[in-house]
Amino acid sequence: MSELATNRRAYHDYEILEKFEAGIELRGFEVKAIKTGHVNIAGSHVTVRDGVVSLIGADIPPYQPQNAPKDYEPSRTRRLLLTQKEISTLTGRTKEKGLTVVPLRLYTAGGKRAMIKLEMALVRSKKQYDKRELLKKKEAKRTIERELSR
């Protein structure tokens, strides 16, 4: 299982409540681009409408720009593949106040065929003071580690 892209900002900005795994409906040249590392999921989000889960704002430039279709849009909306039970869970939970779904990472899963999967999470936004607290704790831990290693 190799990691292709991460959304590090999501771990900083949100409190992660529940994680989900989904397949992505992609074109062939998009798969090649992702496997070579040409993908950016920072700033993207997931929506649930009419029983369809979509990834919006993920930027996947073409593998070979000269061979890509003329009408190709790198940040187009891509459908996510989930079970009906997962879709209904996401639909119900996103209607709660303050909860949203954010992509966390893209990775390859499986053996020989190595399918591309998206790990997404149901999240709640952190308040500014929560972020400051976390930074203080990390800094204190670093200081302690530095002192102990001397």
Q: Which CATH class is domain 3-149?
A: mainly beta
Looking at per-residue confidence, does 110 or 56 come out higher? 56
pLDDT in tens, 20-53: 999 998 888 888 888 888 888 888 889 998 889 9
Six token digits for residue 68: 């890509």
Q: Give the span between the Cα atoms of 5 and 123, in whole angstroms.
A: 19
List the beta bridge partners of residue 15: 124
For the chain, the domains span 3-149
Q: Give the span between the Cα atoms of 85 and 81, in whole angstroms.
A: 12
Q: Give the span between the Cα atoms of 92 and 96, in whole angstroms.
A: 7
37 — alpha (psi -120 to 50), left (phi > 0) or beta? left
pLDDT in tens, 47-106: 998 889 999 988 888 887 777 777 787 878 899 999 999 998 888 888 888 888 999 999
Residues in the chain: 150
